[in-house]
Amino acid sequence: MGGMLSQSLLNLVDAALVGTLGEIALAGVGVGGYAMFMATALVMGLSSGVQSQVARRYGARHFRTVLAPLTAGLIIAVIIALPLMFIGHQQAMLITGWISQNPAVQQVSADYFAIRILTLLPIALNLCFRGYWNGIHQSGTYFKIILMMHALNIPLSIWLIYGGAGMPALGTEGAALGTTLSVWIGALSWSITTWRHARQVDAIQWVPEKRLLWRVISLATPNSFQQLMFAMGYAVLFWILGHINAASVAVGHVLVNLSLLLILPGVGLGMAATTLVGHALGAQQLNEAHRWGWDVVRVAFFTLTLLALPMLLAPDIMLSLFLHQQPLIDLGRLPLQLTGAMIALDAAAIVLNQALLGAGAHRSVMQLQLITQWLCFLPAAWWVGLHLGYGLEGVWWTQLGYRLLNSALFALIWQQKRWLRPA
């Protein structure tokens, strides 16, 4: 489990640790975090591009070429991530200024983002590793390293934020630095683990052909574009919240990252569906591929409903972990309960989104996400939250309706079976 949701966990840890520094610090970390979301989105498609090609080779029992898509993804990752890291680091103030016009928030967010953008290359490499290991049905290996990385992030960030043992307190910049160091260490661990595995694989072809490079790019581009628009959508959402007040930005940052963290099991099940559907299609078992999608949706709905219960029943306790001022907790109470409802109702969209990627239906997924987010949710959020004056609560009621619509449309596309076609 990685990518955007791994970024959410990193952002949520930073939010919990800088919450004691005040509303401006929390809002600044939020804005910087969503700028990082946009940068990460540009390489997100590498995971599904690599995984789709690996899973099809694995399902067709072409084991001797199973490493080639991974190598292709790693080459593409380096070519894309290095220049983006340089540009983001040099233009941090300009980039974060697009999201927030509050001078105090903008300064904090720019300093935070200038450090966090240095994680883009290891994130891109990790996405390729994730695609490979999920494609060969060994996602547990990836999960162990992700857990190690996040476990390391917490003590590192605490030390750098608050200081100690000769280290001065760095505040929000310390949060960014702790996260950056942990991600680089995680990437190094991944490289070593995958290299050891690769030496044991009976693979004749691990250097990708030019055709395979273009195939991975063609698969990755629609998903990366979809993820970029998704991340930009959240940037627009926080632009809307910023026009309400800084408190709404701070609370919204916690709500969004908390929801993205708690749907991690659903996304993990969705990635399992990606592999299961890919294997079934590789073996020409079309009905089996369709059945896997609905089976995983049922498991995800039950799991996410259980995880959402604390948000519905004890919102103040959950908010107090991140927010340390009572007015902020009061502001976030109802939106957090609405977030709990969204998590359960979003199960079909979460799983079937990933399953359709496994079936190669990248264009359908992209079109649906763009239409519902940009033509439905964001205009409605602006109208209800700003124009009608309902604020943060109005925006979150609008988001609940958007999530319901999204799940219904993904279910319709899956049931129509138009994605059942030869690879």
- Tell me the pLDDT tens digit for each residue of 75-129: 999 999 999 999 999 999 999 888 887 888 889 999 999 999 999 999 999 889 8
Number of domains in the chain: 1
User: 145-177 burial string, b = 16+ CB within 10 Å, else e?
Assistant: bbeebbebbeebbbbbbbeeeeeeebbbbbbbb
Residue 421, in any domain of the structure: no
Residue 341, in any domain of the structure: yes
Residue 293, in any domain of the structure: yes
d(CA 58, CA 38): 32
Q: What is the pLDDT of residues 342-366, one digit of tens each?
A: 999 988 898 888 888 777 776 777 7
Q: Which of 129, 58, 147 lies closest to 358, judged by CA? A: 58
d(CA 266, CA 57): 25
Q: What does the pLDDT average to over 297-307? A: 92
pLDDT, residue 364, reads 76
Residue 422, in any domain of the structure: no
Q: What is the mean pLDDT of the chain?
A: 84
DSSP single-letter state for residue 374: I
Please provide the distance, in angstroms rounded to a whole number, between the alpha carbons at the two ends of the chain. Answer: 25
Q: What is the pLDDT of residues 122-179, one digit of tens each?
A: 999 988 988 888 887 776 777 778 778 878 888 888 899 888 777 888 888 898 999 8
Q: Which of 84, 159, 167, 153 lies closest to 118, judged by CA? A: 84
Domain of residue 225 covers 3-416
Give the pTM.
0.77
Q: What does the pLDDT average to over 250-263? A: 86
d(CA 24, CA 57): 50
d(CA 6, CA 271): 14
Range in 58-62, 83-87, 267-271, 387-391 the model is least confident about = 58-62
- Which residues, 6 or more positions from 21, have their beta carbon under 8 angstroms from its beta carbon? 171, 172
* Residue carrying structure tokens 């988001």: 399
For residue 41, the one-letter residue type is: A
d(CA 80, CA 376): 31
C-alpha of 230 from chain center: 10
Q: What does the pLDDT average to over 25-51? A: 87
For residue 3, pLDDT beyond 50: no
CB 205 within 8 A of CB 64: yes
Residue 167, in any domain of the structure: yes
